[in-house]
Amino acid sequence: MGKKDMAVKDHPKNVSSKKNFTIRLVGIAAVVMFTLMMLYQKKDRVTGYYSSYKGKSYMDSGDYIYPSRVQYPRNENDKEKAAFVTLVRDRDLYNLVDAIKHVEDRFNKNYNYDWVFLSETEFSQEFIDVTTALVTGKTKYGLIPEAEWTYPEWIDQKRCAEVREEMRKKEIIFGDMESYRFMCRYESGFFYRHETMDEYDWYWRVEPDIKLHCDINYDIFKFMRENNKKYGFTISIHEYEATIATLWNTTKKFMELYPEYLHENNMLDFISDDDGGSYNNCHFWSNFEIGALDFWRGEAYSKYFDFLDQAGGFFYERWGDAPVHSIAAALFLDRDEIHHFNDLGYFHNPFHSCPVDDVVRFENKCACDPNLDFTWKDFSCGVLFYTVNNLKKPDGWLEHVS
Residues 346-365 that bind ligand GTP (CB under 6 A): 349
Q: Which of 53, 101, 120, 367 binds ligand GTP (CB under 6 A)?
A: 120
- The residue (of 113 and 191) whose beta carbon lies closer to ligand GTP is 191
CA distances from 315 to 181, 236, 283, 318 (A): 6, 24, 20, 6
Positive or negative: CA dihedral 93, 353, 65, 365 = positive
Residue 198 vs 209, nearer CB to ligand GTP: 209
From the list ligand GTP, Mg ion, ligand NAG, none, pick the one residue 179 interacts with, judged by a Cβ distance below 5 to 8 Å according to partner type: ligand GTP
Number of alpha helices (DSSP H) and beta strands (DSSP E) in the chain: 14, 12
Least distance in angstroms from the C-beta of 245 to ligand NAG: 5
- E strands, 9-50, in order: none
Q: Which of 207, 226, 188 is nearest to 328 (CA)?
A: 188
User: Which residues, numbered 81-110, are part of the site for ligand GTP (CB under 6 A)?
Assistant: 86-89, 92
The backbone region for 228, taken as left when phi is positive above 0, alpha when psi lies in -120 to 50, beta otherwise, is left
CB of 255 to ligand GTP, least distance (A): 27
Single out the catalytic residue among 289, 317, 337, 363.
289
What is the binding site for ligand NAG (CB under 6 A)?
A: 245-246, 249
Output the smallest distance, CB 159 to Mg ion, in A: 27
Among residues 214 and 247, whose Cβ is nearest to ligand NAG?
A: 247
The angle at the Cα of 152, spanning 147 to 255, to the nearest 5 degrees, equals: 120
- Judge whether 289 counts as a catalytic residue: yes
Nearest CA among 239, 322, 315 for reference residue 278: 239
Q: Which residue is nearest to ligand NAG (CB)?
A: 249
Of 188, 145, 205, 151, give the one whose Cα is nearest residue 304.
Answer: 188
Parallel/antiparallel/unpaired status of strands 338-340 and 236-238: unpaired
Nearer to ligand NAG, 242 or 367 (CB): 242
What's the CA angle centered on 326, arms 320 and 329, to 5 degrees? 140
| Least distance CB 207 / ligand GTP (angstroms) | 4
Binders of ligand GTP in range 269-298 (CB under 6 A): 287
- Give the whole-angstrom CA distance, residue 194 versus residue 150: 16
**What's the min distance (Å) between Cβ of 104 and ligand GTP?**
17
Show contacts of 174-180: CB within 8 Å, 24+ apart: 174/318, 175/242, 175/243, 175/318, 180/318
Decide if residue 131 touches ligand GTP (CB under 6 A).
Answer: no
Residue 243 binds ligand GTP, judged by CB under 6 A: no
If the CB atoms of residues 239 and 357 are measured against ligand GTP, the closer one turns out to be 239
**Could you list the active site residues?**
289
| Contact residues: ligand GTP, CB under 6 A | 86-89, 92, 119-120, 179, 183, 207-208, 287, 349
